[in-house]
Amino acid sequence: MKEERADIVLLNGAVYTVNPRQPWAEAVALKKNRILRVGSEADIKPAISSNTKVIELKGDLVLPGFIDSHTHFIDGGFALSGIQLRNVRSKKEFIACIKMKVREMDKGKWVLNGDWNHLQFDHPKLPNKEWVDKVTQDNPVCVDRMDKHAVFVNSLALKIAGITKNRQSPEGGIIEKDPVTGEPTGILKDSAIDLIKQHIPEASLYDKKEAVAAAVKHANSLGVTSVHDMQFSAELEVYQEMIKQNKLTARLCVYIPVSEVNLFKRMKLRTPFGNDFLKIGGLKGFVDGSLGSFTALFFHPYEDASEKSGLLVSDMFPEGIMEKRLKEADKAGLQVAIHAIGDRANHIILDIFERVAEENEKRDRRWRIEHAQHLMPEDIERIAKMNVIASVQPYQIVEDGVWAEERIGAERARTTYAFKSLLEKGAALVCGSDWTVAPLDPIKGIFAAVTRRTREGKHPEGWIPEEKISVEDAVKGYTLSGAYAEFAEDKKGSLEPGKLADIVVLDKNLFKIPLEEIINTRVGMTIFDGKIVYEKTK
């Protein structure tokens, strides 16, 4: 029988396959868009011909291409060219950044994106519209808090949206108002954000394609070859256009709003639906908001705001609508991914999942809780027992660990980002970034998961160190488990013959270096669908 020849061969590497039957190898051979062979150099060399591109790795680490299981991908692409407020540390810097951005823009254009975090300001105070009104008289401003559950707007934006002191907060949202004057402060939370967003002109198809191109390029430079996009169904058009032009070098699994459940029912579609490049993964919904915005829903009040315990957001209204939609989704054979941050929010959605599963036939649902951030101890066990996927974002530990205990206290913090406990109970743990809430870089996520070090350096042994996980488990969370979460573990997520040729090469061996050095690891090469799409400049 004639030996099948490879198009690309990676030789002399430390190949971690994430395949328990063959965890380590030295070389990988690729044919077209598939993995041809994985093994020792002696195993692989017969597949080399004069037409084979041979890449000498010199011991570099080879992994399956990273899968980011929670992004807002087009928003991330736009954010790459938008205003950057993530590293702002004071009121003065905040004003200066917005002032500088407005100088670059035409009158009437919206100032967008941002990702500010007031909790890292020298005086941790929410921004007020009066901070910027004098320097933004001709440009409406709507800049996101880093968690995407609050925005800051100026007076012009409030005027455009008709938001005055007499406007009541919508169900599932908050219009923050000055306690003395009753005037809106410029902070809108959760469903109140929609009052502004509906007035922001939609980007053109061309601009969206440019944003996707930027996002894909950025993803490939970080070794990311697949993303789960928690965006909106309207963006499918953009991705389809990119595929037609052969410009999509990342596989996209898109989740659309849970309110669209009837669309699937009418068309009799089951999820996942699509192909290896683009598919609809299922439905995305929300139970609550975020910890940083005081809108994550807890059983008990916040330690630093005793009058608040969070809120249910608009997907939960009218009462009972979430359960009704999830029952419809389950009968239609759909996967769901539901955002839950606070312990009460997680408990509520697990109760709903449980009732739906009891009512309908037993099947492989792979239903997901996005974030699963603050859990009651008994709910950690329920997640595992019910085969619910915990879709987590490790890098957020770096930020939240600085201030979260002030907000919820030490006792509740013990089961915050409870990665090890979830794994020990047998839960499927999949990892992502929530980009742009956190950086897209999986290396940073792996570093956070295995060290739990925080930004200000006060936890050198890790914040809640008993919840640190191994490098093996963190890597699996960004590879094979991510594939499992989209019903694709037979196609990607590990380096095995016949699987898709999505591969990342790293310049350091994560399994041999001190854990604190992982953060300095860089991507040397990314291969997507059998083609080299990124190489680090020498």
pLDDT value of residue 351: 98
Q: Which residue has the higher pLDDT, 270 or 150?
A: 150
CA 158 – CA 185 distance, rounded (Å): 10
What is the DSSP annotation of 78-110? HHTTSEE-TT--SHHHHHHHHHHHHHHS-TTPP
Mean per-residue pLDDT, 329-351: 97
Nearest to 285 by CA among 345, 344, 236: 345
CA angle at 511 for the pair 506 and 517, rounded to the nearest 5°: 70
Q: Is the pLDDT of residue 1 over 60?
A: no
Q: Which residues contact 100 (CB under 8 A, 6 or more apart)?
A: none
Structure confidence by residue, pLDDT tens digits, 240-253:
999 999 999 999 99
Q: Binning pLDDT at 50, 70 and 90, where does residue 265 land? A: confident
Q: Which residues contact 235 (CB under 8 A, 6 or more apart)?
A: 74, 208, 229, 254
In degrees and rounded to multiples of 5, residue 297 shows phi and psi of -90, 120
Q: Is the pLDDT of residue 23 over 60?
A: yes
Lowest mean pLDDT among 13-27, 232-246, 307-321, 381-395: 232-246
% of the chain surpassing 70 pLDDT = 99
Structure confidence by residue, pLDDT tens digits, 154-189:
999 999 999 999 999 999 999 999 999 999 999 999
Mean per-residue pLDDT, 338-345: 98
Q: Is the pLDDT of residue 280 over 80?
A: yes
Q: Is the pLDDT of residue 410 over 80?
A: yes
Q: Whats the size of the chain, residue-wise?
A: 538
pLDDT value of residue 267: 80
Mean per-residue pLDDT, 514-521: 98
Nearest to 308 by CA among 300, 320, 319, 316: 300
Nearest to 380 by CA among 340, 342, 425: 425
Which H or E run includes 433?
Answer: none
- The sign one gets for the Cα dihedral 123, 126, 131, 135 is positive
End-to-end CA distance of the chain: 41
Q: Are 464 and 448 in contact (CB under 8 A)?
A: no
Token code pair at residue 446: 């792996």
Q: Counting Cβ atoms within 10 Å, is residue 109 exposed (0-12), middle (13-18) or buried (19+)?
A: middle
In degrees and rounded to multiples of 5, residue 56 shows phi and psi of -85, 120
Q: Residue 383: helix, strand or coil by DSSP? A: helix
Strand 66-71 to 24-25 pairing: unpaired
pLDDT value of residue 385: 97
Q: Which residues pair with 151 in a beta bridge?
A: 144, 188
User: Which amino acid belongs to residue 289?
Assistant: G
Q: Counting Cβ atoms within 10 Å, is residue 8 exposed (0-12), middle (13-18) or buried (19+)?
A: buried
Q: Is the peptide bond before 272 cis (omega within 30 degrees of 0)?
A: yes
Average pLDDT, the chain: 96
What is the DSSP annotation of 138-160? TS-EEEEETTSSEEEE-HHHHHH
CA 59 – CA 57 distance, rounded (Å): 5
Structure confidence by residue, pLDDT tens digits, 45-62:
999 999 999 999 999 999
CA angle at 434 for the pair 390 and 248, rounded to the nearest 5°: 110
Region for 75 from its dihedrals, namely left if φ exceeds 0, alpha if ψ lies in -120 to 50, beta otherwise: alpha
In degrees and rounded to multiples of 5, residue 143 shows phi and psi of -110, 135
Structure confidence by residue, pLDDT tens digits, 471-489:
999 999 999 999 999 999 9
Q: Are 138 and 107 in contact (CB under 8 A)?
A: yes
Q: Which residues contact 200 (CB under 8 A, 6 or more apart)?
A: 110, 112, 142
Whole-number Cα distances in Å, 337 to 21, 74, 258, 305, 391:
30, 19, 9, 30, 9
- The sign one gets for the Cα dihedral 361, 365, 371, 375 is positive
Nearest to 404 by CA among 13, 117, 128, 131: 117
Q: Which residues contact 35 (CB under 8 A, 6 or more apart)?
A: 28, 29, 495, 496, 497, 498, 499, 500, 501
% of the chain surpassing 90 pLDDT = 94
CA 6 – CA 8 distance, rounded (Å): 6
Which residue bears the tokens 């990988």? 28
Q: Which domains does the chain have, with CATH numbers?
A: 83-197 (3.10.310.70)
pLDDT value of residue 233: 66
Q: Which residues pair with 256 in a beta bridge?
A: 283
Whole-number Cα distances in Å, 375 to 147, 239, 421:
19, 35, 11
Q: Binning pLDDT at 50, 70 and 90, where does residue 2 land? A: low
